[in-house]
Each structure stands twice: as structure tokens, then as C-alpha cells.
Amino acid sequence: MIFAFLPKPLFNTDCDRIRWVKMMGYSKPFIQIDLNEFKLHLNLKNRPQRTFYFDSPSRRFYLCVITLIVNEMKKSKIIKSIPLSQHLELLALLNESIGGAAGSSDKENLLPRIYRKWKDALPNLEEAPLFRVHGKRKEEEDAAISRVYSFSETEKDDWANLFEYVGSHENVRLRFAIDKVGLSLNEISIAFGNSSDGPAWDRFIAGLKEGNESAEPEEGTTETHARGDYGITEPPSVPSAPSQARKISWLKQYRWVMLVAMVAILAGPGGSGGPI
């Protein structure tokens, strides 16, 4: 919970956050989920500090799934498996808003998709199909089909061990197993705005619901829907290119001049039978 109560302007970059933690002498392990920037900060004992950036709508959806599981565990005060089927309505909201409706929100499609990503994609630290790792670049390796991140076997195991599950597909229950990396529920936090943990998650979801219920914009207005005062917005519509807009304006302004010129040409020697 180190970052949760610190004003966001203190940090311009993730490197600033890490330097601040080191400078202040914080060596206690922690995980922080930052919903302001859709990042997960990981600091484990005797391991390099890592920041994972979920940098697209579909990727951000899966960070929200992790956050949902963490919030439910913190509410129950037990690190336990959480049945996804009990949160279908909320997962559908997250999919339609944060996730950009990248896939169907129906139970028979949404829950199996989350199950597959939790089982195969999220634990994959080398290929990292659902996030980027701050401060590292993917490299080509002889045995790898594609470019991968280079990590120690211990780091790869630590990360993969976080993603536990029981059951499958529509009946899956998920567990973010922080106890497997030596952390307790007091050492993982959720941050959004100036709030932390349960209030942060509630505020985040309230903003999504408000944005989801907002009216369609009037014709000619920018399609920007503020989701509460929480900085969660729809991207604005792309404006017409300036050169094209000027061209259209010029054609409208001089259309009568062009029409008169065309009449004059048609009424020339070929039309009147003699010179003008």
C-alpha cells in the first residue's frame, strides 16, 4: 500500500516511483495495481522491481479482472478462489467499456475466454501477450519462435504462480495467489485517484457505470463521455483532415463563379455561331 496514499504528481515515470521507494528505504515486498495508468507494480523480496503495463483496451480488461479478484479476496479477508459466474454482470460492463467490446459478453463466451487467458496468456512472462514490461525489450532467442523477454527462471516461476484457477470455462474460479510469492492481503493494494483498495475499485466501477448510462451526444458534438470525475473517458472522434475541410469550404464559396464560367464557355463560338 506504499503508493496508494501518495499524490500522483510526485511521480512522472515509473522510474521516479522506484527511485522514491529506494530513497525512502522501503524494502518490504508489495504489489500495487494502479488503475490510473493500468499498471501493476511488483516488488518481491530479493527480486528486481517490475512494472507491467497493460497498454490496450483488451489488455486493460484483464488487469481489471485481476483487480476484481484481488478486491473480492480483500473483502473476504482470505486469499481464496473467486467464482467468475457470480460477477458476470460486472465482467460484462468491464468488457463493454474498458475492454472495448473486443469479444462477446455472453456467459458462454466471456467466461471461457477469461479462463483461457488466465491459464495460458497472463502467466507467460517471456512472451507477455497481454502486457509490456517497463524498462525491458523483447529479444530474439535461438529456441524461441518470436521475440521474448529475458527473465530468470525464478522470476518466471514467481509470476506464473500468481495465476491459479479451479475448474474451467463457465465454471472457473480464479485466485491471485499472492501467498505463493510470500505476500499477504495487506501487501497488495489497488489505487485509483486518491483512493485505495475497496473505495478505489468502487469509485472506478461507479465511473464506468456513469459513462455507460450517459446519453448519446448531439450531432456535431465531440463524442467524449466523462465517466464521473475519475478521468475515464471514451476517446474523441477523429476530426476531418484540415486540408480536406478547407477544400470543401473553398468549393462551397466559389460554386457560383464556377457555374458562370461553365455557361460562358458553352456560349462561346461553338454555341452562338460567332465571336463574342
Residues 167-211 have pLDDT tens digits of: 999 999 999 999 999 999 999 999 999 999 999 999 999 999 988
Are the beta carbons of 33 and 70 closer than 8 angstroms?
Answer: yes
As a whole number, mean pLDDT of residues 237-258 equals 44
Q: What percent of the chain has pLDDT over 90?
A: 58
Q: Tell me what the pLDDT averaged over the chain comes to.
A: 78
Which tens digit of pLDDT belongs to each residue from 107-159? 899 999 999 999 999 999 999 999 999 999 998 876 656 789 999 999 999 99
Range 200-209, long-range pairs (CB < 8 A, 24+ positions) = 200/4, 200/35, 201/35, 201/67, 201/68, 201/71, 203/228, 203/230, 204/35, 204/230, 204/232, 205/90, 205/93, 206/230, 207/232, 208/93, 208/94, 208/97, 208/98, 208/232, 209/93
Specify which of 5-9, 25-29, 49-53, 145-149 reaches the highest per-range mean pLDDT.
49-53
As a whole number, mean pLDDT of residues 50-76 equals 97
Q: Which helix (H) or strand (E) holds 34?
A: strand 30-34
3-state secondary structure at position 226: strand
For residue 184, the model assigns a pLDDT of 96
Backbone angles phi, psi at 21, to 5 degrees: -60, -45
For residue 197, the model assigns a pLDDT of 96
3-state secondary structure at position 209: helix
For residue 249, the model assigns a pLDDT of 47
Residue 179 φ/ψ region, left for φ over 0, alpha for ψ in the -120 to 50 degree band, beta for the rest: alpha
What is the pLDDT confidence band of residue 250, given thresholds at 50, 70 and 90?
Answer: very low
What is the pLDDT confidence band of residue 259, given thresholds at 50, 70 and 90?
Answer: low
Residue 225 φ/ψ region, left for φ over 0, alpha for ψ in the -120 to 50 degree band, beta for the rest: beta
- Has residue 51 got a pLDDT over 80? yes
- Has residue 49 got a pLDDT over 80? yes
| Residue 96, amino acid | E
Each domain of the chain, given as residue ranges in start order, spans: 8-213, 242-272
Give the length of the chain: 276
For residue 2, the model assigns a pLDDT of 45
Distance of alpha carbon 42 from alpha carbon 20, whole angstroms:
15
66 Cβ contact list (under 8 Å, min separation 6): 33, 40, 122, 176
Alpha carbons within 13 A on the beta-carbon side of 105: 16
What is the pLDDT confidence band of residue 216, given thresholds at 50, 70 and 90?
Answer: very low
3-state secondary structure at position 236: coil
Helix axes 255-266, 242-253, angle to 10 degrees: 50
For residue 140, the model assigns a pLDDT of 80
Are the beta carbons of 190 and 200 closer than 8 angstroms?
Answer: yes
For residue 69, the model assigns a pLDDT of 98
Distance of alpha carbon 98 from alpha carbon 161, whole angstroms:
26
For residue 110, the model assigns a pLDDT of 95
Dihedral sign, Cα of residue 16, residue 139, residue 53, residue 56: positive
For residue 103, the model assigns a pLDDT of 77
What is the pLDDT confidence band of residue 223, given thresholds at 50, 70 and 90?
Answer: very low
Distance of alpha carbon 71 from alpha carbon 190, whole angstroms:
8
Nearest Cα residue to 132 out of 66, 63, 53, 35 = 53
What is the pLDDT confidence band of residue 261, given thresholds at 50, 70 and 90?
Answer: low
What is the pLDDT confidence band of residue 104, given thresholds at 50, 70 and 90?
Answer: confident
- Has residue 1 got a pLDDT over 80? no
